[in-house]
Amino acid sequence: MSYKQRMLLILVVDILIIWVAIGISYLFRFDGSIPPFYEKQMYFYALLTTVICGVSLAFFRMYKRMWQYASIGEVIELIKAILVGMILSYLAIFLLYGERVPLSIATRSLELMLLFMGGSRFLWRLIRVNKTAKTEQSNNILVIGAGDCGALIAKEILTSKRFKESCLIGFVDDDPYKKNMQVVGFPVLGSRTEINEIVKKHMIHDIVIAIPSSSRGDITDMINICKVTGAKVKIIPAINDIISGTIALHTLRNVEVEDLLGREPVSIDLEGVMGYVKDKVVLVTGAGGSIGSELSRQIASIQPAKLLLLGHGENSIYTIEMELKAKFPNVKLVTVIADIQDRDRIDEVFRLFRPQVVFHAAAHKHVPLMERNPSEAIKNNIFGTKNVADSANKYMSERFVMISSDKAVNPSSVMGATKRIAEMYIQSINVTSETQFVAVRFGNVLGSRGSVIPRFKEQIASGGPVTVTHPDMVRYFMTIPEAVQLVIQAGALAQGGEIFILDMGEPVRILDLARDVIRLSGFEPDVDVKIEFSGMREGEKLFEELLTESEATTATQHERIFIGRPIVLNHAELELQLRRFEKVIGEDQRTIKSAIERLVPFYSNVS
């Protein structure tokens, strides 16, 4: 039945209700025998009430409402519409007919119309809900949070076609006053401490966390409880996303490993950030990569005068360009296909566009790959960085922010060592440059291309096994958006020469991470999906550090950013060493690693 057909049916039912209600009221008033005078009045009153009440119902938009989603608000509006219509009808018949309708008839007509019209709509809602009746084979759902949000999610489950194969079982809420109460007809079964028992007792397939205002730590605690139950866990968006309108309240998403980090959202000093980025020409190298593309998104939101997206791969640059054009149509974008190893091309880019702020995210980052291809790591991570830094210095950019890595600390890999040499170079050039050169050092980011989480998901999708290098291996993790926000914030704190270290929270065991990903995918580790240990790869360490012994940290005005003590380096001496170092490019791995060891004394190759 189409929308117009449904509304026409409701209108016809309303007209019948008006006539039936008025007819019954007259029959009751006169004990079943209506005098001729009042019989004529009854017909006139019913006709007049049909017109006036119909207009009133239309005025209150009673025929533009989806009654299967009706709530107390719709009921109140219906009462208003009928009340207004009946009062106007009562007055109109007195003016037009000259005789007053007995008050008992008018009152009873009003009562019957409220009962019948409200009842018909409630019946319609009941029919619509029951049409989505669940079978015994349906997915049983448990909602965590019996507040306003939980009630809205429950209504969505009951009425949406997306949940036609699902059955709402009840709620969980920590409020002791809600236990054994009912919300939208479903019981509050207990608190979060009872989730495991509730899941087993009611054979729950899906758990929905519906508390958008909870802290990250609280959400993490609930996820940790849920993930051992074997049920699939979904979560509604954060309250900030709902308020901003970027995500609808009823939009459910799968719980991701990022939710288990438990850290509160990063707070940004927008005024400070706006001061050095807004209305400036900003260059992002490696703009098509995981970090570079997120940098581009967040910088675009701060309204730079021009945003230069530089990358070597045309497809990735095209993708981020199209995304930013759609999201930020007023931002002037310039796409630059260039290799940072090409000194002349990088010089040309700086000469043409004169970027005032440079975020250098282009780098080779895969540890085992760079162990097998050390010359490429040197050319890209060291001499590519040198080319960009030299151009920033030559054309007097205001700030240069380099993305570094925790693997640069006491490096055991070629990748880490090349990032450390890049840090050393920008610290040395900062001494005499008008440009403020800084590096930002952090650990692994969740979800970046080639990182561990996507790899685990691929292995799970193919049925396993999930491979972990070593049972004791730990890493620092943070999400891409929070890492990038802190990078941009660190740029605002730059004085020149600093290495900013981001607070990565507690290190995470890779084995625990693998188990979490398996559970959040709806499987049981070592039962449904096996975990195997593949052994440490070349260049890897069991744990990463964020500081060398010679670097002490000082706090900044941002609680999540620290500064490693700058090391004084002679730029001319380092330039000379790099010219010597350049000669080993293309040599065998042993020769290259020996050269690295001479340049980076604390480099310790374990392969």
Task: State the pLDDT at residue 165.
Answer: 72
**Residue 242 binned pLDDT confidence (cut-offs 50, 70, 90):** very low
Rounded Cα gap, residues 435 and 392, in angstroms:
7
Rounded Cα gap, residues 300 and 332, in angstroms:
9
Q: Which residues pair with 533 in a beta bridge?
A: 468
Structure tokens at 203: 């054979």
Cβ(167)–Cβ(196) below 8 Å: no
Residue intervals of the chain classified under CATH 3.40.50.720 are 139-255, 277-460+469-511+536-599
Cβ(492)–Cβ(273) below 8 Å: yes
Rounded Cα gap, residues 144 and 127, in angstroms:
27
Specify the 3-state DSSP secondary structure of 397: coil
Q: Each residue of 126-183: pLDDT tens digit?
A: 665 555 444 444 688 899 988 888 888 887 777 776 776 778 888 999 888 888 787 8
Cβ(309)–Cβ(321) below 8 Å: yes
Q: Each residue of 508-534: pLDDT tens digit?
A: 788 888 888 887 777 778 888 899 888
Considering only 53-67, 76-90, 287-301, 405-419, which range has the smallest mean pLDDT? 53-67
Structure tokens at 477: 């993790």
Rounded Cα gap, residues 3 and 9, in angstroms:
10
The dihedral region occupied by 191, where left means phi > 0, alpha psi between -120 and 50, and beta the remainder, is: beta
**Residue 244 binned pLDDT confidence (cut-offs 50, 70, 90):** very low
Rounded Cα gap, residues 133 and 115, in angstroms:
26
Rounded Cα gap, residues 168 and 170, in angstroms:
6
Structure tokens at 85: 């219509």
Q: What pTM does this model have?
A: 0.65
- Please give the CATH number for the structural domain made up of 139-255: 3.40.50.720
Tell me how crowded residue 444 is: count the other CB atoms within 10 A of its CB. 22
Amino acid at 39: E
- Pairwise pLDDT comparison (398 vs 81), residue with the higher score: 398
Strands 466-468 and 357-360: unpaired
- Given a cut of 50, whether residue 607 has pLDDT beyond it is no
Q: Each residue of 1-13: pLDDT tens digit?
A: 565 777 788 888 8
- Given a cut of 90, whether residue 462 has pLDDT beyond it is no
Q: Among residues of the chain, what percentage have pLDDT more than 70?
A: 82
Q: Among residues of the chain, what percentage have pLDDT more than 90?
A: 26
**Residue 236 binned pLDDT confidence (cut-offs 50, 70, 90):** confident
Going by C-alpha positions, the residue among 330, 352, 349, 346 that lies closest to residue 279 is: 330
Task: State the pLDDT at residue 411.
Answer: 85
Task: State the pLDDT at residue 508.
Answer: 79
Strands 508-509 and 474-475: antiparallel
Tell me how crowded residue 278 is: count the other CB atoms within 10 A of its CB. 14
Rounded Cα gap, residues 476 and 484, in angstroms:
15
Going by C-alpha positions, the residue among 415, 414, 437 that lies closest to residue 425 is: 437
**Residue 376 binned pLDDT confidence (cut-offs 50, 70, 90):** very high
Going by C-alpha positions, the residue among 298, 356, 304 that lies closest to residue 488 is: 298
Task: State the pLDDT at residue 279.
Answer: 92
Rounded Cα gap, residues 292 and 427, in angstroms:
22
Specify the 3-state DSSP secondary structure of 269: coil
Q: Each residue of 303-358: pLDDT tens digit?
A: 899 999 999 989 999 999 999 999 999 999 999 999 999 999 999 999 999 999 99
Task: State the pLDDT at residue 272.
Answer: 65
Cβ(351)–Cβ(395) below 8 Å: yes
Q: Which residues pair with 564 in a beta bridge?
A: 499, 553
Tell me how crowded residue 385 is: count the other CB atoms within 10 A of its CB. 26
Rounded Cα gap, residues 499 and 490, in angstroms:
9
| Domain covering 277-460+469-511+536-599, topology | Rossmann fold (3.40.50)
End-to-end CA distance of the chain: 71
Task: State the pLDDT at residue 268.
Answer: 62
Specify the 3-state DSSP secondary structure of 478: strand
Task: State the pLDDT at residue 37.
Answer: 86
Rounded Cα gap, residues 474 and 508, in angstroms:
5
Q: Each residue of 547-596: pLDDT tens digit?
A: 554 444 555 545 567 777 666 678 888 888 888 888 888 888 888 888 88
Structure tokens at 334: 């310039």
Going by C-alpha positions, the residue among 149, 147, 75 that lies closest to residue 115 is: 75
Strands 182-183 and 186-190: antiparallel
What average pLDDT score do residues 275-299 get? 93
H-state helical runs in 174-229: 195-202, 216-227
The residue with tokens 């151009």 is 391
Give the residue numbers annotated as catalytic, written as ranges: 407
